[in-house]
Structure 1
């Protein structure tokens, strides 16, 4: 891994400075920057880019959700990892929809933080173990399958790993048009509107495990 430039966006100075100090001790991190809120972070993006962004959610001026959405819309895809006290399923869903590529709780171990950095930098989604437990605990005792075909199950798992219709078609050796039709049928069966909602549905109903998304 190359030397990384990282920024921590958090309005709590004590936490922010302490976390930055920990990050600066990692051998593959060359620069650690700070921003006290989403507005300050977006202003910094006008003149520099960061390999990894740790984004708090509850902040004044511009919160983490708005900052993530605006940053991605204005500057393209960024490696943003939500780092927050909020472990709710709805908050997770909102941040992922806004463009986050990782979701960590501030109670996560530093070892898991380093795993998140490496995983997200390599282009994959990272979700902390605590969030998996939160989501799992909200699942109904009965697993809902909606009579998915074997092919639909394959496609659900590949969507959860972030693959596009074309990459799924290439992986399965079928036409993109066929994948799109399967995707449409899956959305109808699950009553969802997009891939993020499908992933959340699949996690809640134990169709996939959060860790499958990181393999």
Structure 2
């Protein structure tokens, strides 16, 4: 199996490379420090599997996953991250990831999960599966949204653009755009205008 490892921490990249290459059937053909470099690695030498972190500079893992999935649908993407909140899981799966593992996963199990993904299965960490089945609601203003989703909904209601929201919350524009899609889907709304109206109606009732 030809794999590309994507993580903004050089120690994580190198450690994963050394550990996974001990497996006789795994070859790490490239590493990348952010989502844009991941796309470049796919252009350079098409991997079979990409192990993708979520939060990275320049381009995050979710936006990179979306672009790789659109350009090379045969490449299978496994998110490998410390984040197990419902929002990131939903965004990653919507972007086209077919696996979602936590970095706390033992390397032996990680190799097994990579093989399962390569064989055509969808791989979800047990903690991730529990989060999907029992999502925690955030403490924000709109019931059913996570804290970050509420922050973005509030900013949209204030009239901020995606770029302004991204800058204020230290997110990428792609993450803001994807999160907005999740918010609209959860609340069954059509666009950001409807969201703003819905937000202020709920706010005034509270």
If the TM-score is normalised by the length of the shorter chain, which range does it land in?
0.5 to 0.7
Counterparts of 1:80-91 in structure 2, within 5 Å, are 80-91=77-88
TM-score, reference length from structure 1 = 0.60
Whether the 8 Å contact between 1:10 and 1:16 is mirrored in structure 2 is yes
Q: 2:116 aligns with which of 119, 143, 149?
A: 119
Is there any run of 5+ residues in structure 1 with no aligned partner, and where?
141-190, 193-215
Instruction: State the TM-score, normalized to the length of structure 2.
Output: 0.63
Aligned ranges for residues 74-113 of structure 1 at < 5 Å?
A: 74-113=71-110
Tell me the CA shift for residue 54 of structure 1: 0.2
User: In the TM superposition, what are the counterparts of 1:126-165 in structure 2 within 5 Å?
Assistant: 126-138=123-135
Distance change >3 Å, CA 58–CA 26, structure 1 → 2: same
Distance in 1 (alpha carbons) for counterparts of 2:27 and 2:74: 21
Deviation at 1:139, TM superposition (A): 7.6
SS at match of 1:111: helix
Flag structure 2 segments of 5+ consecutive residues without an equivalent: 138-186, 189-206
- Counterpart CA distance in 1 for 2:10 and 2:44 is 23
**Paired residues of 2:76 and 2:117 also in contact (CA < 8 A):** yes
Select the residue among 17, 21, 39 that pairs with 1:42.
39
Structure 1 residue 77 displacement after superposition? 3.3
The size of the alignment, in residue pairs, is 141
